[in-house]
């Protein structure tokens, strides 16, 4: 027993093993399984173990794949721009304008209230609001802003991005708020004493110090948007596609190998995106 | 231990007693009485599409037969998926015939002995030899009788004659067409081609279930005079390209407001006025009407696209559960469910037994295509029609006699599915 305790290496392994085994069983093993299945063949009602490249060949050979991946990036990028702008503003207000800690906490909790309901409900409730005869259109018509109902409000890319921004802004607010709260207030005072104006403080002090938070929020938003399928389906009225929908269509039609291949490519793409993002900011400083 | 002996004795009693008891007790109430006590513990798990998986049926089963029926309603694709990949998750599969064609080979279902079905002889011809009347023509696509019979209990091949082993017990079917909002269209609609009429740009919809959607597309393409298919239910790759090509172009021109995948989506699209013409299912029309919004299930010159569903028994079922499943199926065909479904606008596979569970007015309106003599209400109490109204499309013979094609699975299904994905992503 004494010897065991002295053996640091063994101790280290033992301590890490609970987490490692959980990750192994619930993360690594399923991904390996998906990789394996992506090389299998499928008929309409069964999947056949094999080692063929046809799923990947079809994926890279189809122009749809490129359109859909491009579309997915488009959604991710536009959603990211809006969530960063809104998320940063909200966090900035909470962290620097609200003075008392009680109010900061109270307002922060207020931001999370919508998240007590299912995100599907929050998304679907946009549909009657944005519809041809919905509240938005009838209000605009009664105010005389428009004569005819605006069609592009619902079942369009606009609706998809609106829902994404609505659903995921909080994932940006939380980490940014968190990093902002850790900024030493004396830095800002020193800057002000040295004659910096508000914009300079924002640009030279707050933004650089908030970068890790922005990056964590970015990772959340980008992965969530790139992996989503249900928002795109409902808000575009099934008229637009992203990679998630491609996968879900394949699964619905029992094409598991093809779905796996698409999932693997999506996984690699997302990892590459995150890899690139991490080159810019060292988020370990934050953790 | 006591449990096993009880089962053994009951089963041996059954073997001898079923035949005699079934005769003596009469056909509708027969066999369940024998083991009324044990069967209460049985739970039968059924899954299927929303159309027939209704809680009212489960309640009535509990009342009439004593055992518990658990229902799960899923969308068409999920139903296929579950029937093919999760054989242990269900006892009864409530699936469509074209799904049966797809999943039968997976071996998760067992065929049913028609001699154990009390009302087998009364099942309409469509499900037995394919003919509604002796001289009617069989429509294109996966006609139910072509996948309705197999060689034996564990048969894997479909046979074209009444072999005594049924793959699915037909329960429900209908003839589908386009649904329209007459108040927003204001002119007669007589052809499938109207779906792509630029007049309805941004106000049309089609369903996003490839195997059914492609058939609606084919009806439209044929109606436009673009092409006449040798068999809409089994297209070649070129035909698939042509069909989906026409619709992709329409989509790019903004013809469609949305696509729908589940029943309630189609109801919402129509009721909110987002869409004025779309592929639709009969109860969806009913649901729109019951909100007080005018909606017509428009009969069209080219005829209907039809579908049929039935109950299949899981291959894993045996013993008491299997007997309970047969009981349930016999009960299903004995009339109450048929009446319940027919009062929503579907047809029962054994219409004559359902007649007893419908009023003369209801039977006349729904089945015979007569003028309603009094208000017609759905089983849920919604008013659907008043005195003097006639059902869209008329009588059973007129509607089911004008079927142009059945929902189907093609040989080129995989190709079609990929093309369908391209259509959605276009």
Q: Is A223 inside a domain boundary?
A: yes
Look at the block and give the residue holding tokens 């001699």. B115
The pLDDT assigned to A3 comes to 64
What are the strands, taking DSSP E only, across chain A?
A: 41-42, 47-48
Q: Inspect the interface and report whether the beta carbons of A133 and B273 lie closer than 8 Å.
A: yes
Q: Inspect the interface and report whether the beta carbons of A237 and B259 lie closer than 8 Å.
A: yes
Sequential pLDDT tens for chain B (426 residues) = 334 444 444 444 444 444 444 444 444 444 444 455 567 778 899 998 767 778 888 899 999 988 889 988 887 778 888 888 888 889 999 999 988 888 888 888 999 999 999 999 999 988 988 888 877 788 888 889 999 999 988 888 899 888 999 999 998 899 999 999 999 999 999 999 999 999 999 999 999 888 889 999 999 999 999 999 999 989 999 999 999 999 999 999 999 999 998 888 899 999 999 999 999 988 788 889 888 899 999 999 999 999 999 999 999 888 888 989 999 999 999 999 999 989 888 999 999 999 999 999 999 999 999 999 998 888 888 888 888 889 988 999 999 999 999 998 888 888 888 888 888 887
Domains of chain B (ranges, CATH numbers): 30-175+307-355 (3.40.190.10), 178-302+395-425 (3.40.190.10)
Shortest Cα distance, chain B CAs vs residue A23, angstroms: 27
Shortest Cα distance, chain A CAs vs residue B108, angstroms: 11
Q: Helices A29-37 and A256-280: crossing angle, nearest 10°?
A: 130
Q: Inspect the interface and report whether the beta carbons of A155 and B418 lie closer than 8 Å.
A: no
Higher-confidence position of A193 and B38:
A193
| Rounded Cα gap, residues A101 and B297, in angstroms | 62
Q: Give ∠ CA B373-B52-B84 in degrees, rounded to 5.
A: 155
| Rounded Cα gap, residues A277 and A215, in angstroms | 7
| Rounded Cα gap, residues A272 and A222, in angstroms | 12
| Rounded Cα gap, residues A43 and A41, in angstroms | 7
Q: Inspect the interface and report whether the beta carbons of A44 and B78 lie closer than 8 Å.
A: no
| Rounded Cα gap, residues A48 and A64, in angstroms | 25
Shortest Cα distance, chain B CAs vs residue A235, angstroms: 9
CB proximity under 8 Å: A 26-45 to B: 43-45
Tell me if B206 sits within 8 A of B195, measured CB to CB: yes
**Helix (H) or strand (E) run with residue B264 in it:** helix B263-271
**For residue B47, what are the β-bridge partners?**
B72, B93
Look at the block and give the residue holding tokens 């049985």. B42
List Cβ neighbours of A265 (8 Å cut-off, separation of 6 or more).
A56, A59
| Rounded Cα gap, residues A264 and A275, in angstroms | 16
Tell me if B127 sits within 8 A of B349, measured CB to CB: yes
Instruction: For chains A and B, count residue pairs whose Cβ atoms are closer than 8 Å.
Output: 84
Q: Hey, is A218 helix, strand or coil? A: helix
Q: Does A57 touch chain B (CB under 8 A)?
A: no
Domain that holds residue A160: 62-285
- Cα within 13 Å of Cα(B101), Cβ side: 19
Distances (CA, A) of B382 to B12, B206, B287, B317, B387: 48, 27, 9, 38, 15
- CATH number of A191's domain: 1.10.3720.10
Q: Inspect the interface and report whether the beta carbons of A64 and B421 lie closer than 8 Å.
A: yes
Q: Inspect the interface and report whether the beta carbons of A233 and B274 lie closer than 8 Å.
A: no
Shortest Cα distance, chain B CAs vs residue A208, angstroms: 40
Shortest Cα distance, chain B CAs vs residue A134, angstroms: 8
Q: Is A3 inside a domain boundary?
A: no
| Rounded Cα gap, residues B361 and A191, in angstroms | 87
| Rounded Cα gap, residues B113 and B115, in angstroms | 5
Q: Inspect the interface and report whether the beta carbons of A132 and B274 lie closer than 8 Å.
A: yes
Query: Rg of chain B over CA atoms, in angstroms?
Result: 22
Q: Does A159 touch chain B (CB under 8 A)?
A: no
Q: Which residues of A touch B414 (CB under 8 A)?
A: 43-44, 255
Q: Is A34 inside a domain boundary?
A: no
How confident is residue A26, by pLDDT bands cut at 50, 70 and 90? Answer: very high
Select the residue of B259, B414, B418 nearest A44 (Cβ to Cβ).
Answer: B414
**For residue A213, what are the β-bridge partners?**
none
Query: Rg of chain A over CA atoms, in angstroms?
Result: 24
**Helix (H) or strand (E) run with residue B417 in it:** helix B413-425
Q: Inspect the interface and report whether the beta carbons of B417 and A68 lie closer than 8 Å.
A: no
DSSP letter at B120 equals G
Q: Is A214 inside a domain boundary?
A: yes
* Tokens found for residue A96: 């620097």
- φ, ψ at B80 (rounded to 5°): -55, -45
Tell me if B293 sits within 8 A of B181, measured CB to CB: yes
* Tokens found for residue B345: 């606008």
Enumerate chain B positions whose Cβ falls within 8 A of a Cβ in A. Answer: 77-78, 80-81, 84-85, 102-103, 105-106, 202, 205, 208, 210, 251, 256-261, 268, 272-274, 409, 413-414, 417-418, 421-422, 424-426
Tell me if B14 sits within 8 A of B326, measured CB to CB: no
* Tokens found for residue B412: 């080129």
Shortest Cα distance, chain A CAs vs residue B81, angstroms: 6
Look at the block and give the residue holding tokens 């066999």. B31
Residue A220 has pLDDT above 60, yes or no: yes
Span A94-112, average pLDDT: 90
What are the strands, taking DSSP E only, across B224-279?
A: 256-260, 277-279
| Rounded Cα gap, residues B334 and B348, in angstroms | 10
First and final C-alpha spacing in chain B: 64
Other CB atoms within 10 Å distance of the CB of residue A91 = 26
What are the strands, taking DSSP E only, across B13-79?
A: 43-49, 68-74
The chain A residue lying nearest B268, using CA atoms, is A128
Q: Is A247 inside a domain boundary?
A: yes
Q: Is A54 inside a domain boundary?
A: no
Q: Is A29 inside a domain boundary?
A: no
The chain B residue lying nearest A42, using CA atoms, is B414
Q: Is A6 inside a domain boundary?
A: no
Give one DSSP letter per residue of B355-416, joined into a string. HTTS-HHHHHHHTS-PPPSS-EE-TTS-EEE-TT---TT-SHHHHHTTEEEE----TTHHHH
The pLDDT assigned to A287 comes to 55
Q: Which residues of B touch A155 (CB under 8 A)?
A: 257-258, 274
Tell me if B327 sits within 8 A of B65, measured CB to CB: yes
- In total, how many domains does chain A have? 1
How confident is residue A132, by pLDDT bands cut at 50, 70 and 90? Answer: confident
Tell me if B243 sits within 8 A of B221, measured CB to CB: yes
* Tokens found for residue A216: 């964590």
Q: Does A148 touch chain B (CB under 8 A)?
A: no
List Cβ neighbours of A11 (8 Å cut-off, separation of 6 or more).
A4, A5
| Rounded Cα gap, residues B35 and B14, in angstroms | 9
């Amino acid at each position: 027993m004494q010897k065991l305790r002295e053996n640091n290496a063994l101790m280290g392994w033992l301590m890490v093993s609970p987490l490692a085994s959980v990750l192994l069983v619930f993360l690594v093993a399923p991904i390996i399984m998906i990789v394996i299945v992506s090389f299998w063949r499928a008929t309409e009602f069964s999947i056949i173990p094999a080692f063929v490249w046809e799923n990947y060949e079809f994926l890279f050979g189809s122009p749809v794949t490129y359109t859909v991946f491009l579309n997915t990036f488009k959604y991710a990028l536009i959603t990211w721009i809006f969530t960063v702008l809104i998320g940063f503003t909200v966090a900035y207000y909470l962290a620097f304008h609200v003075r008392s800690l009680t109010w900061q906490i109270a307002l922060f909790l207020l931001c999370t209230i919508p998240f007590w309901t299912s995100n599907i409900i929050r998304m679907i409730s946009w549909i009657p609001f944005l519809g041809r005869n919905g509240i938005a259109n009838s209000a605009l018509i009664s105010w005389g802003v428009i004569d005819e109902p605006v069609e592009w409000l619902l079942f369009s890319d606009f609706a998809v991005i609106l829902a994404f921004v609505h659903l995921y802004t909080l994932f940006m607010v939380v980490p940014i708020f968190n990093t902002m709260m850790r900024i030493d207030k004396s830095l800002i005072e020193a800057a002000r004493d040295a004659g910096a104006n508000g914009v300079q403080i924002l640009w030279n002090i707050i933004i650089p110090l908030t970068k890790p938070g922005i990056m964590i929020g970015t990772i959340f938003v980008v992965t969530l948007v790139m992996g989503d399928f249900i928002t795109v389906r409902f808000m575009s009225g099934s008229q637009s596609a992203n990679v998630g929908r491609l996968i879900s269509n394949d699964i619905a039609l029992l094409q598991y190998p093809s779905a796996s291949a698409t999932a693997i490519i999506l996984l690699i793409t997302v990892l590459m995106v995150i890899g690139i993002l991490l080159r810019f900011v060292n988020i370990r400083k934050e953790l | 231990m006591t449990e096993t002996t009880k089962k053994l004795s009951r089963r041996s009693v059954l073997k001898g007693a079923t035949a005699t008891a079934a005769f003596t007790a009469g056909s509708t109430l027969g066999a369940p009485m024998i083991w009324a006590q044990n069967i209460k513990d049985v739970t039968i798990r059924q899954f299927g599409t929303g159309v027939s998986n209704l809680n009212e049926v489960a309640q009535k089963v509990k009342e009439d037969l004593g055992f518990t029926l658990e229902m799960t309603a899923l969308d068409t694709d999920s139903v296929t998926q579950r029937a093919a990949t999760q054989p242990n998750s269900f006892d009864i599969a409530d699936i469509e015939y074209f799904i049966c064609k797809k999943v039968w080979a997976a071996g998760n279902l067992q065929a049913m002995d028609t001699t154990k079905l009390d009302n087998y002889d009364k099942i309409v011809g469509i499900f037995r030899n394919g003919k509604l009347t002796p001289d009617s023509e069989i429509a294109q696509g996966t006609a139910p009788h072509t996948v309705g019979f197999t060689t034996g209990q564990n048969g894997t091949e479909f046979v074209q004659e009444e072999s005594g082993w049924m793959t699915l017990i037909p329960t429900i079917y209908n003839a589908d067409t386009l649904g329209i909002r007459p108040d927003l269209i204001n002119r007669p609609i007589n052809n499938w081609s109207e779906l792509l009429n630029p007049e309805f740009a941004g106000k049309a919809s089609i369903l996003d279930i490839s195997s059914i959607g492609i058939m609606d597309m084919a009806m439209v393409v044929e109606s436009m005079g673009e092409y006449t298919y040798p068999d809409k239910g089994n297209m070649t790759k070129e035909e698939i390209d042509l069909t989906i090509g026409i619709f992709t172009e329409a989509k790019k021109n903004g013809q469609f407001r949305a696509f729908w995948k589940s029943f309630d989506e189609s109801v919402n699209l129509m009721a909110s006025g987002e869409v004025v013409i779309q592929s639709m299912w009969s109860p969806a029309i009913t649901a729109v009407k019951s909100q007080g919004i005018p909606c017509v299930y428009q009969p069209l010159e080219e005829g209907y696209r039809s579908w049929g569903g039935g109950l299949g028994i899981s291959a894993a079922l045996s013993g008491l559960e299997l007997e309970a499943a047969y009981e349930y199926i016999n009960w299903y065909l004995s009339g109450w469910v048929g009446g319940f479904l027919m009062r929503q606008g579907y047809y029962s596979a054994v219409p004559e037994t359902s007649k007893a569970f419908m009023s003369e007015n209801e039977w006349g309106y729904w089945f015979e295509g007569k003028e309603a003599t009094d208000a017609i209400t759905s089983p849920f109490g919604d008013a659907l029609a008043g005195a003097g109204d006639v059902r869209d499309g008329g009588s059973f013979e007129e509607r089911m006699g004008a079927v142009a094609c059945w929902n189907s699975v093609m040989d080129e299904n995989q190709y079609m599915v990929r093309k369908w994905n391209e259509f959605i992503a276009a």
